[in-house]
Amino acid sequence: MKAFSRIYRFHFHDERRERLFLASLAFLLAFGIVRAITISIRAGIGPFHNVSAGGTHIHHLVWGIALLIVVGYVWLLEVGVGSSWVASLTAILFGVGAALTLDEFALWLNLQDVYWERQGRVSVDIVLIFGALLSVGIWGGPFFNGIIRALLRLEQSIGL
């Protein structure tokens, strides 16, 4: 096991290279496993069955998109990664991509255009929930406390 660890650290001392490797490996394995499961479901063999909620079949793209959104949000919260124009740009692009994707949540959940139908309301609900989650990280107490303190100092300095 030590030899494996040593070889791994030698080849993946660069964090970016390691992340790309792990993502590639996970992508290929997940694709193969999901494809095998869907084939077994369609053939009616094995313990796997379709997932449904309230009569709506939930396709695995729903889980994939939800996972991408969650991981993107967690990456925004990651501490110690530094800041650069690339980090700022990708944060902006993540926000845009999340908005575009979640606005169509009802479409990818139902696999039909229900944007203006009753079922389309779920897109608005999901956008509001995710927007609230992002807002907690951005508009939290420390920011407002800092603003209030600055305003109070300004007020005191001008004698109000």
**Residue 84: pLDDT over 80:** no
Domain ranges, ordered by start, for the chain: 80-160
Q: What percent of the chain has pLDDT over 70?
A: 90
Written as six digits, the tokens of 45 are 């063999």
Phi first, then psi, for residue 57 (nearest 5°) are: -70, 125
The answer to whether residues 118 and 125 touch, using CB atoms and an 8 Å cutoff, is: no
pLDDT of residue 81: 67
- Token pair of 69 as six digits: 């959104």
User: Mean pLDDT throughout 1-22?
Assistant: 80
Taking the model in full, what pTM does it have? 0.62
Q: Which tens digit of pLDDT belongs to each residue from 88-109?
A: 777 788 888 888 888 888 888 8
Given pLDDT bands bounded at 50, 70 and 90, which one contains residue 82?
low
Among 62-66, 76-80, 116-120, name the one with the lowest average pLDDT.
Answer: 76-80
Residues 3-25 have a mean pLDDT of 80
What average pLDDT does the segment 137-153 reach?
72
**DSSP count for the chain of H helices, then E strands:** 7, 2
What sections of 44-140 are H helices per DSSP? Answer: 60-77, 85-103, 105-110, 121-138
Residue 57: the pLDDT is 86
Q: What is the mean pLDDT of the chain?
A: 82
